[in-house]
Amino acid sequence: MKILVINCGSSSLKYQLIDMANEKVMAKGAIERIGLKINGGEENVIVKTDDGKFTFDKELMTHTDAFNEVKFILTESEYKVLNSFDEIDAIGHRIVQGGDIYTKSVLVTPEVVDNVNYLAPLAPLHNSAELKGYEACLEVVGPDVPQVFVFDTAFHSTMPPKAYMYALPYEYYEKYSVRRYGFHGTSHKFVSHRVADKMGKDIKDLKIITCHLGNGSSIAAVEHGKVVDTSMGFTPLDGFMMGTRSGGVDPSAVTYIMKKEGLTPEEMDTILNKKSGVEAISGISSDDRDICAAQNDGNERAILAHEMQAYEIAKFIGSYVAAMNGVDAIVFTGGIGENGVWLRSKICSYLGYLGVYINEALNQKTQKGAEAELTEETDKVRVFILATDEELMIAKDTQNIVLDLNK
């Protein structure tokens, strides 16, 4: 079975074609700057093959135009991997917000589309764009190719009310569905199951803390295969400091700044989401590689940004150890989780009370997609670096739903 995985933004479309017979990626790439004028040199069409990365310019004004370009790349271009688009058995879409409605991946129907559109106010930058991707696929391939929605929030739907409710007037939960949802669920699901496999144990027998660390970051407490708590909340802004996001901040500090600066809610939202976090504290960049370089040069604000980030993450790990009354494994994944040598080391330095003492030499050399266990098999709490694969997780869910459909 060949599954095409689609991840759409408001002006972008990322794709990955996976042959599920061997879980091999046949092709992947992205279309950027959808709907924008191309003057030349933007290199908005990206194709990645075994031979390398190739880019070129092409003005594509709609998501349908972009998806037709993907079809051309896969079936007719010099990078073609298919003789016909009919070889694609199903399409899986990443959908950020499933709300209270969807606790697992689903086959797309008109009712599902209506519900995802209804949930769009909870993720205004994501759900509407992702629906555009679905509609583009539908227009190009027609209704006979099954399409599946895989929700970022679904894996976190097992959280109990004591973890997902906010101590706000209850009517806001009833009227506006204001509660903790959590995000990066596809990644947390993938690595929690993967670490159980690595340990040779049933996930139902384990307590796992998964740390998805990137420009956007979150941590999840996975007890016996089910999420009991996670750091992101109503939106992906909550939790600990990230590349440009503040993470948790005293709400009174927010309203105080708004009054002092005369800011609108929209302006404050932009500050919290796009002008805070590591970039704001360091004054340099949101890119962890830049922060590491500045830290090595002795830049005090870069050092502070990294120290704050490690401290906040360690606190979340500690709180989830308490929530689960123990932990068997801690996993680092995501761009920074897989490459952030200093950050991993600093976080683990706070975990001595758990008996965590990592192999520093191994930590230093584990980067760029490499995987490792930083502890010993006999240790009570084991620490792993694992590469996440959200696209493969989406493809697996899509395959399972299509197979059930054909029974």
Contacts 24+ apart (CB under 8 A), 283-292: 286/215, 286/243, 286/244, 287/215, 287/243, 288/243, 288/335, 288/336, 288/339, 288/340, 288/343, 292/340, 292/342
Taking the mean position of all CA atoms in its chain, how far away is CA 192? Answer: 14
14, 129 in Cβ contact below 8 A? Answer: no
**And the tokens for 390?**
């959200």
Residues, the chain: 407
Question: Known catalytic residue: 290?
Answer: no
**Running DSSP on this structure, what letter comes out for residue 159?**
-
Long-range CB pairs of 295-298, under 8 A, 24+ apart, other chains included: 295/342
Pairing of strands 24-31, 45-49: antiparallel
Question: Would you state the torsion angle of the CA atoms of residues 301, 302, 303, 304, taken in this order, to the nearest 10 degrees?
Answer: 50
- Among residues 89, 114, 152, 269, which one is catalytic? 152
What's the CA gap between 271 and 279, in Å, rounded?
11
Q: Are 237 and 184 in contact (CB under 8 A)?
A: no
- The set of residues, in sequence order, having a beta carbon less than 8 Å from that of 81 and lying 6+ positions away, is 17, 26, 27, 74
**Which active-site residues does the annotation give?**
152
